Amino acid sequence: MKKIAIVCGNLKSDIQKKAVEVLSSFLLDYTLEYPICVKYGEMDLKDFRCIYIGTKNDNEYILKNSKSILKNEEGYYINVNENTVIIEGYDDKGVLYGCIDFYNKYIIKNEHPHTDKYWINIFEKDTLAPFECYSFPSVKTRGLWTWGHVIYDYKNYIDNMVKLKMNSIIIWNDFVPVNAKEIIEYAHKCGIKIIWGYAWMWDTNCKKFDIKLLEDEPLKIFEKYEKEYAHLGGDGIYFQSFTELNTDSIDGVLIADAVTDLVNRTSDLFFEKYPDILLQFGLHATSVKEKLEYIKKVDNRICIVWENCGSFPFSYVPNDVGDFENTLSFVEKIASLRGEDDNFGVVTKGLVKLDWSCFEHLSNAHYLGVSSKQMKENRIIRKRRIWRYIQAYWLTNADKVYDMIKYIDKIKKGDFYSYALVEDGMFEENIMYPVALYSEMLWNTNGNLNEIMENVALRSYVDFA
């Protein structure tokens, strides 16, 4: 077996270094030794099977030998020709995602010959089968939503997001984590944006406050941001604000009207000082679905991230599909509510959620994402029964998720935010099949669902309950 050299264009780029790390981890399953990572020109490569990764701007071999024309951010081009592989990115993220899909789309495809041999090591052959692929993400922002205190290993959590080609995460906390800066720095090295979540005049029970006392709240909310978040270097703020109810009013005050007024007055303070800040308004549709004329007035600079819009994939229960057509109709309304160029997003559910029956608020800040091996192993066992149930109905109703994503994509032309709520499901240890399937649906909204489901199931890093 020929030794493999990974020839990286820019090892000064944290994201390209991550690409080398991920690609090396995949190749180790086949070579049983560390592939050699070098910069082009530093050694004689004639005895190596070379994998050239990078962009035309930083990898001389790719510049001279790749005939691709890449036009889309995060896109990539893969070309396999006998003993040479080119993985070219439009940008650094494209390099990273190309390395991941070299495994997903090439190695997996060729290592199963569809004979009674079942599996072969393609790198033991004298030459590699020819292959060519262009790809880029259908949905611009792809990620997860979670409470922070149920991330038990933040590095593994982020690493698993990388394998799913995700680029954003919303983390909601009672208090800013002690290690918030370290989390942001690690996420950025992996090409992932961190959006911190906190409440704008709200707690877990909307009825615990006086909705008529909103006048002084905007300044308090803004001061909290400046004191606790502004210096961290995060990528945005996600907030919720007393809409998670099954009624349209509190104490005679219309929720849609009151929340729009609060959000707009508060955002004015943010945008005046931080004009480029990303503000994401987590809006629960149940309390405003009949009062959309008020929500239409929300400042267009704010991204409304809609939740609880109806049946699965917005329901926690993945077999809750009885009202799917009405859910589609409602999503059409809200996706078009503020015009074609509005900032629009969704949080889908039907995966593992927080167990609210034993939930307790934290009394102070904590160190996010660290725990013992034994604790994680015990929790994996506890969560597997839940994942088995979820998995069963994702296998049955995956078409509903894909139809919804494609429907939104058609309206928004890919320019929207899509987050899946995955919390307290031990994602940092096990990438469960439904989460991996969801991520691939976001990457490719024009594919064949059966082929996507098949490909995702073959990935060695994807687990079944």
Query: Tokens in use for 148?
Result: 């922070």
Residue with tokens 């993400």: 137
Please report, as a single letter, which amino acid is at residue 421: L
**Opening angle at CA 385, ends 349 and 322, nearest 5:** 40
Buried b (16+ CB within 10 A) or exposed e, 18-56: bbbebbbebbeebbeeebebbebeeeebeebbbbbbbbb
Amino acid 234: pLDDT: 97
Residue with tokens 């399953």: 29
Which residue, among 22, 192, 121, has the nearest Cα to 8 in the 3D structure?
22
Q: pLDDT above 90 covers what percent of the chain?
A: 85
Minimum mean pLDDT range among 170-174, 202-206, 423-427: 202-206
Residue 33's pLDDT band, with cuts at 50, 70 and 90, is confident
227 φ/ψ angles, rounded to the nearest 5 degrees: -75, -40
Distances from the Cα of 36 to the Cαs of 22, 47, 65, 103, 359, in angstroms? 13, 12, 21, 18, 48
Amino acid 301: pLDDT: 95
Which residue, among 292, 288, 326, has the nearest Cα to 307 in the 3D structure?
288
Amino acid 205: pLDDT: 72
Average pLDDT of span 384-394: 97
Residue with tokens 């139809």: 403
Distances from the Cα of 166 to the Cαs of 120, 150, 193, 441, in angstroms? 30, 19, 9, 12
Q: Is 80 exceeded by the pLDDT of residue 319? A: yes
Neighbours of 145 (CB within 10 A): 24
Which residue, among 192, 172, 175, has the nearest Cα to 184 in the 3D structure?
192
Q: What is the C-alpha to C-alpha distance for residues 11 and 102, in angstroms, rounded to an integer? A: 19
Q: What is the C-alpha to C-alpha distance for residues 104 and 165, in angstroms, rounded to an integer? A: 11
Amino acid 2: pLDDT: 83
Residue 210's pLDDT band, with cuts at 50, 70 and 90, is confident
Amino acid 42: pLDDT: 66
Distances from the Cα of 124 to the Cαs of 87, 131, 195, in angstroms? 21, 17, 44
pLDDT per position as a tens digit, 163-186: 999 999 999 999 999 999 999 999
Average pLDDT of span 415-432: 97
Neighbours of 78 (CB within 10 A): 21
Amino acid 360: pLDDT: 86
List % helix, strand, coil for the chain (3-state, nearest 5).
40, 20, 40
Amino acid 359: pLDDT: 86
Amino acid 341: pLDDT: 78
Of residues 5 and 38, which shows the higher confidence score?
A: 5
The H or E element spanning position 433 is helix 433-443
Spacing of C-alpha 73 from chain mean position: 16
Q: What is the C-alpha to C-alpha distance for residues 163 and 428, in angstroms, rounded to an integer? A: 12
Q: What is the C-alpha to C-alpha distance for residues 428 and 160, in angstroms, rounded to an integer? A: 6
Amino acid 78: pLDDT: 98
| Cα radius of gyration (the chain) | 23
Amino acid 183: pLDDT: 98
143 φ/ψ angles, rounded to the nearest 5 degrees: -165, -165
Residue 41's pLDDT band, with cuts at 50, 70 and 90, is low
Spacing of C-alpha 423 from chain mean position: 13
Amino acid 40: pLDDT: 61
Average pLDDT of span 327-341: 93
Q: Is 80 exceeded by the pLDDT of residue 208? A: no
Distances from the Cα of 394 to the Cαs of 314, 317, 338, 465, in angstroms? 13, 10, 32, 12
Q: Is 90 exceeded by the pLDDT of residue 339? A: no
pLDDT per position as a tens digit, 252-302: 899 999 999 999 999 999 999 999 999 999 999 999 999 999 999 999 999
pTM: 0.96
Q: What is the C-alpha to C-alpha distance for residues 135 and 80, in angstroms, rounded to an integer? A: 15
Query: Tokens in use for 163?
Result: 């394998």
CB of 106 closer than 8 Å to CB of 80: yes
Average pLDDT of span 199-227: 85
Q: What is the C-alpha to C-alpha distance for residues 314 and 318, in angstroms, rounded to an integer? A: 9
For every residue of 93-157, DSSP letters joined together read: HHHHHHHHHIIIIIIHHHH--SSTT----GGGSSSEEEEEEEE--SSSEEEEEEEGGG-S-HHHH
For every residue of 368-396, DSSP letters joined together read: TT---HHHHHHHHHHHHHHHHHHHHHHHH
Amino acid 207: pLDDT: 66
Of residues 219 and 357, which shows the higher confidence score?
A: 219
Average pLDDT over the chain reads: 94
Q: Is 90 exceeded by the pLDDT of residue 37? A: no
Q: Is 80 exceeded by the pLDDT of residue 392? A: yes
Residue 353's pLDDT band, with cuts at 50, 70 and 90, is very high
